Structure 1
Amino acid sequence: MNQIDVKKRSIGINFNKDGLAEVSIWAPLAENVAIAVNKKNTIKLVKDELGYWTTLTDEIQAGDLYKIQLDEKEYPDPASLSQPNGVHDVSKAINLRTLTVNDTGWNNLPLEEYVIYELHTGTFTPEGTFSGIEKKLDYLKDLGVNAIEIMPVSQFPGSRNWGYDGVFPFAVQDSYGGAEGLSHLVQACHEKGLAVILDVVYNHLGPEGNYLSAFGTYFTDKYNTPWGKAINFDDTWCDGVRQYFIQNTLMWFRDFHIDALRMDAVHAIKDFSPVHILREIKQQVNRLMEETGRTHYLIVELDLNDNRFINPLEQQGFGMDAQWIDEFHHALRVTAGEKRNGYYSDFNGLSHLAKAYKDAYVFDGQFSPHRKKFFGVKADNNPGKQFIVFSQNHDHVGNRMLGERTSKLVSLEMQKLMAGAVLVSPYLPMLFMGEEYGEPHPFLYFVSHTDTDLAEAVRKGRKAEFAAFHAEGEAPDPVAESTFEKSKLQWQLVKQEPHETTLKFYKTLIALRKQQLALSDLNRDHLDVEIDESKQTLLLHRWHGSEHIYCIMNFSKEKQNLSLPKYKKEWQKLLDSADPIWNGPAASPDIIPGESTVMIQPESFLIYKNFND
């Protein structure tokens, strides 16, 4: 493993404490490398070891615009920190030392306490900027979430994109507010007690403005991904590529004080090195944390039920701190009425939801008809804090043809039930922006490629993807600005019914999760679950010490009678999603005997508490 200096960024252009520019450009196959500064001054670089070209100079200042010359051709800097004129134009030198976030009293939250709120900067507020997010931090704090997850912000073409087409991993999107705007947002979040998770993409880069191949072997023909050639983590000249992404991880933590990274689709990272790139990233992050005393987490999106990714380094795992588990989402949505097609076809609803509560992975060695193979391993020894669950997220909303949110697909009662199913789980809960008040606007797929041929290819590809769904209408044009505008949250709704009451319901539910030890303690061993397929009901029992909580869920469209176990004390109701105060049809009793039957309304859930002492 290369001993990277974790205390500073050492690729691209960086400034030392004396204000001199330390330049290091990786271009192992180039014959000559130089930097053209402000279109008038050219600085030649000296060939160094392992394909790097370097110099130390006072001829580059923070704010200067520059390009890299490779054998007489000019390109933006692959490690650029700013692209003020877009992905095809000049890079801008930034002194990371001036971005230091003033948050000395902050050192992250314990992972098991995270209540996550996923948002997209461009559509979260009317401004579509980091400063726009800052204006909503008090709202988020009042909601009860304590960690915001920001979809990717690395520079992409144009100003409208989900962020997964980024081509400059180190440069913060200029239309959002750039590096300065992001660092200011992080400081503001920490002042409010909010952790910041940043979504990063280390499995591919977008097509437009991607000049990496001109510099070196960033991609390999050995493997294919859904986006084309795989990033080169184990082929010829891979060491410079590995350092590139390790340096990126360290920068977000060290220089921007990001608390956690959510790493996109790590199953698409192809690496057969003796030390997998994720494991090496974890090792280097551990070194950084030892140096700074700060805590950072690595969270992965993983479409493999393989706990090697989240097992500790000492168990020969990759050491990732947590992962998204889509299987909880799929089982929950099928239970709530989603059609069993596509990736939902493997899921039977209630019994798989019960298994997700107990085992995290639904498929942990069984045959998967959708994949047509035996799939998954057991995760019995992985604690609840290692799994993130949700009833919706950007993918499962935005990859629908019409981008419908849950609020447009199910009843208000079912929306509340699905929220309850997530927030009473023994895992880390995540909300998708606007979910908490039932935002009716879709979240559609949108891009703003400046390459007209590429934009047309994306447009045609999106139409072809949903060709079988034309009975439901045409797929919205992803290039049209109107598609982006339709995806923005409508903040005026939070003061209108039924949205205002839905928001209060979410606040109450989140607060309840935090207040009750039986819910906030993520001990997966202190959990039982019973289902009744005929009634479409699920009884989730969680406990902590003598405190016992029963979460009764009715996914049917009929009232159901259910029996609670015998206890010495009376059952006290904590929450009733069907209560009229939450715009529900009828409330269940506040107090019921220690052994009793309770009627639960259709598409609703009840939470009762007892003490067994």
Structure 2
Amino acid sequence: MTLPAHGSERFDLWAPEAESVALLADGRQYPMSRIAGGSREASGDGSREASGDGDAGWWRAVGAPASGEVDYGYLLDGDTTPLPDPRSRRQPEGVHSLSRTFDAGSHGWADGPWTGRELKGAVIYELHLGTFTPEGTLDSAAGKLGYLAELGVDFVELLPVNGFNGTHNWGYDGVLWYAVHEGYGGPAAYQRFVDAAHAAGLGVIQDVVYNHLGPSGNYLPRFGPYLKSGEGNTWGDSVNLDGPGSDVVRQYILDNAAMWLRDYHVDGLRLDAVHAFKDERAVHLLEEFGALADAVAAETGRPATMIAESDLNNPRLLYPRGVNGYGLAGQWSDDFHHAVHVNVSGETNGYYGDFDSLGALAKVLANGFFHDGSYSTFRGRHHGRPIDASLVHPAALVVCSQNHDQIGNRATGDRLSQSLGYGQLALAAVATLTSPFTPMLFMGEEYGATTPWQFFTSHPEPDLGKATAEGRIKEFERMGWDPAVVPDPQDPETFTRSKLDWSEAAAGDHARLLELYRALIALRRSTPELAGLGFEDTAVDFSEAEGWLLLRRGPTEVAMNFSAEPRRLGVGVASIALATDDGVRLGGVLGDTRQLELPGHSAAILSK
């Protein structure tokens, strides 16, 4: 666990390229001196690593305030403007201002009875704090935990909460990974939220971003070689994972991951876009994440779940470390989303083109990946590799029919519910919640929210705001969307429009859909084979011409009619456990099967 603050070591700083460093604390300057490696210093302000063997460049301010709340910053090489701490836990005045100490050990945790939650058999609910409630805070989100528990989900996954410039943002422009955004309530509110979630029987997964830093307030390059100039990814310079100085940079990342798991008691981390990691070291950073999760689980007695967002379709992420895998608990599977989206919406532009068939969905349900070495027309090359079913349980793949990326990265941020009717939304729900995988819902999906979820920023710098808006328009050219309809991410109304309207949940088809989601989640929980069986116990039949698909999970069968016309198909079970339409009928026996009648855009779950 994190050690208590025990002296001025809590301000230790790694700045290997600086000639001189001074600490500014509570308005007073303290000269800092280089220190030798050889010991690990940790405090409520974040671990301070000085292990020797190439880790030179650590500085200490002897005599600096040894306890209490302190506003502080660092002056490098005679600068007169202090920089915030790379490991800052609080930024009360924003990411360009002084840091403030925070004693993570001062919270009186009440979650002793909480034993944690495994990914297998769980349902995840993804939310963005700023738009989940009108207030947009951790404390207001805690007020909705009872609703989520009643819905039946097992994990709440928070989009990034780390420090970013401005008042509102998706969270992926963070520059201070150890800080909790003050607009959400800061670190103390975060601890209260996790405590409340555990009291409600919900685990917490935190989305973290280690592949890039935001464009405003990133002072890490001033301190040391945190980035690799000229080796960029989609968002800018890559994080230095394998160059000179990367030992400390990697430890900086791993310490941050450990902070969430230990100091904030979160149950797991969602690792953003790990395909953007540039790491040529023999032991990949992802393998170190897997080892960290195991170590924390052994220490706390609670599962620590690492889930990667990966575009690689590489099952090595999920294979055990003992067979040269990375040992992660899970990864997102975009193939499932694309296959469901195409079959309920008919949209086939851009990367959806490869999934323009019911056969694509059938392949994903049976094998996990669609691109398992197959040719990707969007990429212009072959992509992925097959999953070894003896090494991976289907629950390791986290799937969805909607999420923040797939909605927010559309031109207008429109949800499926803004263009599809109840029947198609119900089909998407059934496909997701009866799949062999771990389902994830995006906030508001469960009642068919009609509010969009758009890309929004609040960069105070006019030039950066303009560049962001222009870059956003260019992103949509390949998908064929009209740039004229793309909202300005800097317009405050873009953020306001994206807030959920909770009054919708009680009316008409919204309420009907909400009841379906509750029933599906309850049925998933009471039907062990839906979530518990492996790939070898999954079978899929389908008719491309007629538009129906039949998923068999042990003795349970899930029949889905993606056609607008009624269909009849043979099933081998005797009763309907759940149907999305009152017109579903189970007829007489024909040979070894019974005849199931499905109205257009409907589904049924059947059991013996």
TM range (shorter): over 0.9
Q: Which range moved further: 196-205 or 381-390?
A: 381-390
2:540 paired residue number: 529
Q: C-alpha displacement at 1:537, in angstroms?
A: 0.7
Q: Aligned partners of 1:525, 1:56: CA distance in 2, in Å? A: 62
Task: State whether residues 25 and 64 of structure 2, in contact with CA within 8 Å, keep that contact through their aligned partners in structure 1.
Answer: no
Q: Aligned partners of 1:380, 1:470: CA distance in 2, in Å? A: 38
Task: State whether residues 35 and 45 of structure 1, in contact with CA within 8 Å, keep that contact through their aligned partners in structure 2.
Answer: no
Task: State whether residues 24 and 52 of structure 1, in contact with CA within 8 Å, keep that contact through their aligned partners in structure 2.
Answer: yes
1:4 paired residue number: none
1:396 paired residue number: 406
1:159-558 aligned at under 5 Å gives the runs 159-221=167-229, 223-381=231-389, 382-466=392-476, 473-543=484-554, 548-558=555-565
Q: Alpha carbons of 1:471 and 1:34: their partners in 2 closer, same or farther (altered >3 Å)?
A: closer
2:42 paired residue number: none
Task: State whether residues 30 and 64 of structure 2, in contact with CA within 8 Å, keep that contact through their aligned partners in structure 1.
Answer: no
Q: Alpha carbons of 1:284 and 1:549: their partners in 2 closer, same or farther (altered >3 Å)?
A: closer
Output the TM-score relative to the length of structure 1: 0.92
1:107-122 aligned at under 5 Å gives the runs 107-122=115-130
1:598 paired residue number: 596
Residue among 22, 26, 44 paired with 1:34: 22
Q: Which amino acid aligns with 2:398?
A: I
Q: Alpha carbons of 1:56 and 1:148: their partners in 2 closer, same or farther (altered >3 Å)?
A: farther
Task: State whether residues 99 and 256 of structure 1, in contact with CA within 8 Å, keep that contact through their aligned partners in structure 2.
Answer: no
1:576 paired residue number: 579
Q: Which amino acid aligns with 2:517?
A: Y
2:40 paired residue number: none
Q: Aligned partners of 1:60, 1:592: CA distance in 2, in Å? A: 80
Q: Which amino acid aligns with 1:15?
A: A
Q: C-alpha displacement at 1:46, in angstroms?
A: 3.3
Deviations 1:559-586 (A, max 9, x none): 0111123xxxx6111111112xxxxxx2
Q: Alpha carbons of 1:320 and 1:378: their partners in 2 closer, same or farther (altered >3 Å)?
A: same
Q: C-alpha displacement at 1:466, in angstroms?
A: 3.7
Task: State whether residues 100 and 255 of structure 1, in contact with CA within 8 Å, keep that contact through their aligned partners in structure 2.
Answer: no
Q: Which range moved further: 63-72 or 428-437?
A: 63-72
Q: Which amino acid aligns with 2:24?
A: A
Q: Aligned partners of 1:607, 1:225: CA distance in 2, in Å? A: 44
Q: Which amino acid aligns with 2:552?
A: H
Q: Aligned partners of 2:24, 2:580: CA distance in 1, in Å? A: 63
1:8 paired residue number: 2
Output the TM-score relative to the length of structure 2: 0.93
Task: State whether residues 152 and 518 of structure 2, in contact with CA within 8 Å, keep that contact through their aligned partners in structure 1.
Answer: yes
1:3 paired residue number: none
Task: State whether residues 272 and 309 of structure 2, in contact with CA within 8 Å, keep that contact through their aligned partners in structure 1.
Answer: yes
Q: Aligned partners of 1:198, 1:292: CA distance in 2, in Å? A: 18
| 3-state SS, counterpart of residue 280 of structure 1 | helix
Task: State whether residues 588 and 595 of structure 2, in contact with CA within 8 Å, keep that contact through their aligned partners in structure 1.
Answer: no
Task: State whether residues 584 and 604 of structure 2, in contact with CA within 8 Å, keep that contact through their aligned partners in structure 1.
Answer: no
Q: Aligned partners of 2:562, 2:78: CA distance in 1, in Å? A: 66
Q: Alpha carbons of 1:590 and 1:183: their partners in 2 closer, same or farther (altered >3 Å)?
A: farther
Q: C-alpha displacement at 1:512, in angstroms?
A: 0.7
Q: C-alpha displacement at 1:289, in angstroms?
A: 2.8
Q: Alpha carbons of 1:522 and 1:449: their partners in 2 closer, same or farther (altered >3 Å)?
A: farther
1:564 paired residue number: 571
Q: C-alpha displacement at 1:336, in angstroms?
A: 1.7
Q: Aligned partners of 1:480, 1:99: CA distance in 2, in Å? A: 38
| 3-state SS, counterpart of residue 207 of structure 1 | coil
| 3-state SS, counterpart of residue 530 of structure 1 | strand
Q: Aligned partners of 1:171, 1:281: CA distance in 2, in Å? A: 20
Gapped runs of 5+ residues in structure 2? 38-54
Q: Which amino acid aligns with 1:97?
A: G
Q: Which amino acid aligns with 1:33?
A: V
Q: Aligned partners of 1:168, 1:476: CA distance in 2, in Å? A: 28
Q: C-alpha displacement at 1:22, in angstroms?
A: 2.6
Q: Aligned partners of 2:245, 2:533: CA distance in 1, in Å? A: 43
Task: State whether residues 21 and 61 of structure 1, in contact with CA within 8 Å, keep that contact through their aligned partners in structure 2.
Answer: no
Task: State whether residues 101 and 257 of structure 1, in contact with CA within 8 Å, keep that contact through their aligned partners in structure 2.
Answer: no
Residue among 564, 577, 585 paired with 1:588: 585
Q: Alpha carbons of 1:555 and 1:563: their partners in 2 closer, same or farther (altered >3 Å)?
A: same
Q: C-alpha displacement at 1:526, in angstroms?
A: 1.1
Deviations 1:484-543 (A, max 9, x none): 000000011122222112111110111011111221314221111001011011011111
The alignment covers a number of residue pairs equal to 584
Task: State whether residues 117 and 302 of structure 2, in contact with CA within 8 Å, keep that contact through their aligned partners in structure 1.
Answer: no
Residue among 58, 62, 65 paired with 1:52: 58
Superposition RMSD on alpha carbons, in Å? 1.9
| 3-state SS, counterpart of residue 585 of structure 2 | coil
Q: Which amino acid aligns with 2:2?
A: K
Q: Alpha carbons of 1:45 and 1:293: their partners in 2 closer, same or farther (altered >3 Å)?
A: farther
Q: Aligned partners of 2:368, 2:180: CA distance in 1, in Å? A: 35
Q: Aligned partners of 2:151, 2:116: CA distance in 1, in Å? A: 19
Q: Aligned partners of 1:470, 1:118: CA distance in 2, in Å? A: 26
Q: C-alpha displacement at 1:590, in angstroms?
A: 9.1
Q: Alpha carbons of 1:98 and 1:345: their partners in 2 closer, same or farther (altered >3 Å)?
A: same
Q: Aligned partners of 1:320, 1:184: CA distance in 2, in Å? A: 28
Q: Which amino acid aligns with 1:527?
A: T
1:71-82 aligned at under 5 Å gives the runs 71-73=77-79, 74-82=82-90
Q: Which range moved further: 532-541 or 100-109?
A: 100-109
2:52 paired residue number: none
Q: C-alpha displacement at 1:55, in angstroms?
A: 4.5
2:49 paired residue number: none
Gapped runs of 5+ residues in structure 1? 1-6, 580-585
Q: Aligned partners of 2:300, 2:527: CA distance in 1, in Å? A: 34
| 3-state SS, counterpart of residue 559 of structure 2 | strand
Deviations 1:174-195 (A, max 9, x none): 0001100101000000011100
Q: Aligned partners of 2:501, 2:297: CA distance in 1, in Å? A: 40
Task: State whether residues 30 and 215 of structure 1, in contact with CA within 8 Å, keep that contact through their aligned partners in structure 2.
Answer: yes
Q: Which amino acid aligns with 1:408?
A: Q
